[in-house]
Homo-oligomer: A and B are copies of this chain.
Amino acid sequence: MGVLGASGYAGRELCAFIQSHPGLSLAFATANEQRGTTTRIGGKDVTFVATEDAKLNSAELIFSSLPHGASKQWVNTAQNSGARVVDLSSDLRPGNGCEGIPYGLTELARPAIKSARLVANPGCYPTSAALPLIPLLASGEIQGADIIIDAKSGVSGAGRDAKQGSLYAEVSEGIHAYGIAGHRHVAEIEQELSAAAKKPVVVNFTPHLMPMSRGILSSIYVKLNNGATAEGLRDTLAAKYKDEPFVRLLPNGQAPATRHVRGSNHCVMNVFADRVPGRAILMSAIDNLVKGASGQAVQNMNVMCGIAETTALEQEPLFP
């Protein structure tokens, strides 16, 4: 296995997962600016090489967590070297003009992933929103309009590059929205939701930056179609995910918390009846670096390689 772009938070996690994966080994980990340096990851020393120096043909499968925009060309090169690829960037996700590439929401796309040579790994926000929404749009219980997704993310979602806006003293003890009405994840979300609903779905998606390192909580406000009830929505999600190792519907009334999933590949979700008739509230929580990035990428790799899907992903949430 190889990792392109291994010095960021997601790339680092990928290296750790590969190293803890029985039977797999890390052929290379690239990081241009840190080429030649050695870092401790997952209990072992990893020496970064430049991306152009990586022996791409030494890896059966390559993960790219290169930056958005820079990933596409290397995915191409990696494929030409004969490797299967899981791309964690947004370059090849739906809504970016690259339709036809399997979109790796593992629980919802296993058949396509299994035989894919290339998988576009979902973004963290879309993962947290799509897992509860897709089954309910597919079942026709909720309306495709007036969906409000109010998402709260930890700071690691902004990456490991030094940016003033991600400094401790700028982020601690505060919260604010960003990219209001214009966040690049919207196209990706709407495309997947529309496919599930079999009609155009339009969402309001508003991300917020808050003081935590890991985690996304999506609070989703929806309108019910005639005859639908919050209990029915719970039943639909319960049926959909009852055998899934990584998706868990919480007991009735229990609010999902990012602390329920920190450091794990789990998504916890729940449905609440609203005080307002005809409305319901969906809540879902994931670790943005695991189920929202590297963990789901490894889950997809396991599916692609015919390995048991939970392999190397058994870590339970760390609390407190």
Contacts and interface: CB of A to CB of B under 8 A. Distances in A.
Interface of A: 9, 12, 16, 20, 40, 42-43, 146, 148, 150, 152, 154-156, 160-164, 166-178, 180-182, 186, 202-204, 206, 208, 210-215, 217, 219, 221, 255-260, 262-263, 272-276, 279, 281, 283, 285, 314-316, 318-320
Given A175-B258, A273-B181, A274-B181, A20 B211 contact: no
B186 A275 contact: yes
A190 to B, nearest CB: 10
A172 B180 contact: no
Contacts of A9: 169, 320
Q: How many copies does the complex hold?
A: 4
B275 A204 contact: yes
A161 B156 CA distance: 18
A166 B148 CA distance: 28
Given A202-B276, A210-B211, 7 more contacts: A9-B169, A9-B320, A148-B150, A154-B169, A155-B168, A169-B214, A176-B256
Most interface-central of A155, A170, A181 (chain B CB within 10 A): A170
